[in-house]
Chains A and B, each alone.
Chain A
């Protein structure tokens, strides 16, 4: 299993992956940082369209995730590109932006979508988690 869990611990149910690196910090928007922070910005997005170019926060967070993933890969002694980060915070736009940004690091991320249990696909293996 090469999936690494980077989902938001408060907004996405746990995936029970062997590598659990969940942190709400990966989903903080730049405008939510304290004004003294070097990355603080009054807008969290750079552009409104297209969505994956919203950038700003998503780009910064993707770099943070990439760095962490690289550390993890070093510890495990594998190549970073062998690991697939799973991102998700129940915000489709941001998650997509984050995933697309991770792609620019040559990673193959996956997005975790939160769906009400009653609407989950009947064959969905993770619905029982």
Chain B
């Protein structure tokens, strides 16, 4: 408030009164808006998370290796054998038997159960190694917690041993990571499906960064989805978006960045018409690369386990689908959108135009992620937790990923001719290494 030096007492009084009235008015408006918002919302009670979110593993503490786990070479736990790591022969037999059983399961739930069995085998082995046999599970919990028990593994290595392809082994790896966390371990895991990331060396800072990124991705995701939900992007708009603009369903991927970006995307989603251009325009190359991480994380058991993130995605997807007579159409659109995004992300990660493979992989992950989200939706909307939505058939997947990959390659080619992507794999590797190890953790969002 500006009060001139020469104002009379009366003028000063007037100005004070006016400003107070303005402030009061603004407050009332705000409260009115808030009341309105509250009228349209409901409350759900939930328990706080059982395991107060797991802190990252520590690179200086002894770590139980499963297999060779290359890249985690600071491990100090004695008795690691080549090929087996710290697993005993019996433990390895049980572990791989359970994993093989898991790999044969077609559905998420069944796979998770078998993977949990595998994790259990490792727990037993770890306990036996430390002289804790046949103890009450409370004692076991405490022991794992107090000693900060850690495991390290590389999904691709385990997958190769089971005869899985890179994507499948990655999915299994995520499931395994979640299972270990549930069992009480802190986990080092390398989920790379591509030899490119073999340059990854785990350091304290890179681990902390990865953990921080995952955490902030989750929290921004929930915040962004809340934002979308409360700003009218929900029902009709999203249904429309799913049906017509599925290719631009980049909100989930972009949520890794900032809520602002998501708001931008959501806006573009409701306003713009072109399909791929939107995604390519909004997401710069580096953003895409970071989003690969998010996509992969989401494809893991973050989505399958009932947590905040999964809940919001599922509810969001659910609100789009609910009351929709052409439910299948929307589902396909959603799945296609996720596949497109996965393809873009994968393609960008591979780096070159020639890397159709990574595009395919990404598309596959995207499609599977969509399946998982839809699974979650079904569970949430009361079809019961026992509904087993089977994943897409492989032929179907090949077909759709082929299309997606083609388009991604086209787009990437275009981008490259415009000089946006470096074609050189080697420089890409170096770049990624730098990014993994030296990037500052994302800001608090």
A residues near B (Cβ < 8 Å) are 7, 10-13, 15, 45, 48-53, 86, 88, 90, 92-93, 96, 99-100, 103, 109-124, 126-127, 129
Least CB distance, B173 to chain A, in whole angstroms? 22
Given A45-B444, A52-B52, A92-B222, are A120 and B229 also a contact pair (CB < 8 Å)? no
Given A92-B219, A92-B222, are A50 and B54 also a contact pair (CB < 8 Å)? yes
A and B contact pairs by CB, cutoff 8 A, 24 listed: A7-B43, A10-B31, A48-B212, A48-B441, A49-B212, A50-B52, A50-B53, A88-B43, A92-B226, A93-B219, A96-B49, A110-B47, A115-B41, A117-B41, A117-B42, A118-B319, A119-B229, A120-B44, A121-B380, A122-B381, A124-B44, A126-B42, A126-B43, A129-B42
Provide the residues of chain B in CB contact with A114, threshold 8 Å.
Answer: 41-43
Provide the residues of chain A in CB contact with B211, threshold 8 Å.
Answer: 49
In the complex, B290 has a CB within 8 A of chain A: no
In the complex, B315 has a CB within 8 A of chain A: yes
Q: Is the CB of B43 within 8 A of A129?
A: yes
A113 CA to B412 CA, complexed, in Å: 42
Q: Which 5 A-B pairs have the closest CB atoms?
A: A99-B48, A127-B42, A120-B42, A50-B53, A52-B52
Least CB distance, A72 to chain B, in whole angstroms? 19
* Most A C-beta atoms less than 10 A away, residue of B43, B308, B382: B43
Least CB distance, A42 to chain B, in whole angstroms? 14
B residues near A (Cβ < 8 Å) are 31, 34, 38-49, 52-56, 208, 211-212, 215, 219, 222-223, 226, 229-230, 234-235, 308, 315, 318-319, 380-382, 441, 444
Q: Is the CB of B52 within 8 A of A100?
A: yes
A7 CA to B230 CA, complexed, in Å: 19
Provide the residues of chain A in CB contact with B215, threshold 8 Å.
Answer: 49-51
Least CB distance, B35 to chain A, in whole angstroms? 9
Q: Is the CB of A111 within 8 A of B52?
A: no
Find the A residue at minimum CB distance from B213: A49
Least CB distance, A45 to chain B, in whole angstroms? 7
Given A49-B211, A92-B219, A92-B223, are A86 and B45 also a contact pair (CB < 8 Å)? yes
Least CB distance, A20 to chain B, in whole angstroms? 14
A120 CA to B382 CA, complexed, in Å: 12
Provide the residues of chain B in CB contact with A123, threshold 8 Å.
Answer: 382
Q: Is the CB of A113 within 8 A of B54?
A: no
Q: Is the CB of A13 within 8 A of B41?
A: yes
Provide the residues of chain A in CB contact with B444, threshold 8 Å.
Answer: 45, 48
Least CB distance, B314 to chain A, in whole angstroms? 10
Q: Is the CB of A111 within 8 A of B55?
A: no
Provide the residues of chain A in CB contact with B34, threshold 8 Å.
Answer: 10-11
Among B48, B223, B229, point to the contact of A96 (Cβ < 8 A).
B48
